[in-house]
Structure 1
């Protein structure tokens, strides 16, 4: 079974429906392309100060240059953040704390999908490390400035792959075997579980944690796969390309979660037709709904991150 969706779905919500964000600060990871870029673009056009976080400063500056071409009045700050190294997350935190009085929006958007077997700087399978562990650490390290304002929001980007994931703790370093599809699904399940459990932990402070997924969107997660997709994978992508939506449309669920007055803490948004469409409340993996499983993920993740907190 999946989550019961009792509230009305949203009809044809667009970026034009985003309220004025003057005075608000948003940090977006992976803001140089795809969903992150279009999220940065939409928020800046509504007057938010956008911290453009990318793996390299060059990528962040290139993204800002492109954003300013269409929005010369936009307010942007570049941030170099390598999520494959937890030490870098720790090193970046004081800079953010010192430079910004508060943080209204944190959008955990960056992701890696289907790489060859790779380990993070700390020796964990790279998809679980980047997609889940680093974003959890970043979120926890930034809570002091997120909590300064009630109704600040944290949006963690997941995927429909969550339904194929499972929470297992015996192969986090890919020492037994490596399946790129399985590892990606596990990391995306961890994303939505983290978002929902974080909301439970923060709701007494009136801080909202939400999850969102883009459906099937044309992003560089597909095109940047290394090694290149196999002939079968390439054929499958071409076969299903008619149902792919643009990255700009794919960003709508996370933008709704980040800005709509109608969004609630603990909500999970996705496209209206699951793969594509305007945002709506989305079904959630049964594993993520299971409170015991969520609490176990939280506990185990904290154990891994304990030396960095």
Structure 2
């Protein structure tokens, strides 16, 4: 990556770290941000994936006269907390400072009857969607210069809210009293109940917002005016085998095909990776999204094929200060035990 000034000016190149940038929404956001001249740190799971991403970016690149930013693809596996340590050591050694941190990676394996586990033995949805991002944020904060007007962006979902369209379908998001998380790494569900893959995903999206709120509260207590933005891209279903639903297709391919056809082609309640990626790139670099504190935006459908992206109220559980406090402390405690 080229050396550059880190003066945070929305008209000048930013250094942006994004997880989940190798496919789907994240990849489309990276394409847009690079075309605008911004510099991207895009952690990839392994060298093979990093090379694939670089090839895809080259194949999608604009003409050579465009003001492209630089891209670097260090190795980081969100299913392994020790991999986050290695990434942050590399950031330190290269003396990078980061203007925008985008926590976009996520997985869902709806249809599975049994939990998958991270390297540290944690249920994989919770590990990747929440805990690893929680840990990455703590480790990367020293490399975010508050003088550069930074921001942190977290991709959540409307399904965190039991009263939303997607949140009403199937098991609803609810963390209970966090009994599962409290019990240690071997839990199946955060609330202590038996594994439900669909609910595990919804719960993780609720965790995203609770984490964002608590992080913002911590900044405000330190008199740091850092925007912490959580956002919901809407229902995104691509026509290929890439993107978010690639995991769920392994467990219920026919069901996923039928659901995609109904939602995308008949009801027209889905958006595309490209459109959602543009929203994410706008959150990262437009000055209109710099309001200090916690902010939540949702890409809401208003009629068949039509969406509006606006600031939206979060669910009742997501507004609970006691829940955000407890989630923070138990997440920290779990990581501390693992790192002993």
Q: 1:66 & 1:121 partners in 2: Cα distance?
A: 28
Partner of 1:283: 313
Partner of 2:295: 267
User: Structure 2 vs 1, CA of residues 143 and 276 (structure 1 numbering), >3 Å: closer, same or farther?
Assistant: farther
2:281 aligns to what SS in structure 1? Answer: helix
- Is 1:21–1:46's contact at 8 Å kept on the other side of the alignment? no
Q: 1:20 & 1:58 partners in 2: Cα distance?
A: 34
Higher-Rg structure is 2
Partner of 1:48: 38
User: Structure 2 vs 1, CA of residues 166 and 256 (structure 1 numbering), >3 Å: closer, same or farther?
Assistant: farther
- Is 1:215–1:276's contact at 8 Å kept on the other side of the alignment? no
Give the drift of 1:68: 3.1
Q: 2:294 & 2:233 partners in 1: Cα distance?
A: 17
2:247 paired with 1:224: yes
Greater Cα offset, 299-308 or 229-238 = 229-238
Q: 2:95 & 2:284 partners in 1: Cα distance?
A: 19
Which of 76, 80, 87 matches 2:82?
87
Partner of 1:243: 269
- Is 2:237–2:260's contact at 8 Å kept on the other side of the alignment? no
Cα deviation code 1:114-146 (max 9, x no counterpart): 253201111111000100000010011000011
TM-score normalised by the chain length of structure 2:
0.79
- Is 2:32–2:278's contact at 8 Å kept on the other side of the alignment? no
- Where do 1:42-81 residues align within 5 Å? 42-69=32-59, 70-71=61-62, 72=64, 73-81=68-76
User: Structure 2 vs 1, CA of residues 44 and 105 (structure 1 numbering), >3 Å: closer, same or farther?
Assistant: same
Give the drift of 1:222: 1.4
Which of 225, 244, 263 matches 1:206?
225
1:194 aligns to what SS in structure 2? Answer: helix
TM-score normalised by the chain length of structure 1:
0.86
Greater Cα offset, 178-187 or 259-268 = 259-268
Partner of 2:11: 20
- Is 1:104–1:149's contact at 8 Å kept on the other side of the alignment? no
Give the drift of 1:252: 3.6
Partner of 1:302: 332
User: Structure 2 vs 1, CA of residues 213 and 21 (structure 1 numbering), >3 Å: closer, same or farther?
Assistant: farther
Unaligned runs of 5+ in 2: 1-8, 162-171, 182-186
Q: 1:224 & 1:108 partners in 2: Cα distance?
A: 19
- Is 1:147–1:207's contact at 8 Å kept on the other side of the alignment? no
Give the drift of 1:65: 2.5
- Aligned-residue CA RMSD in angstroms? 2.3
Unaligned runs of 5+ in 1: 1-17
- Is 1:147–1:205's contact at 8 Å kept on the other side of the alignment? no
Give the drift of 1:148: 4.5
Q: 2:58 & 2:73 partners in 1: Cα distance?
A: 13
Give the drift of 1:180: 0.5
Give the drift of 1:29: 0.6
User: Structure 2 vs 1, CA of residues 276 and 190 (structure 1 numbering), >3 Å: closer, same or farther?
Assistant: farther
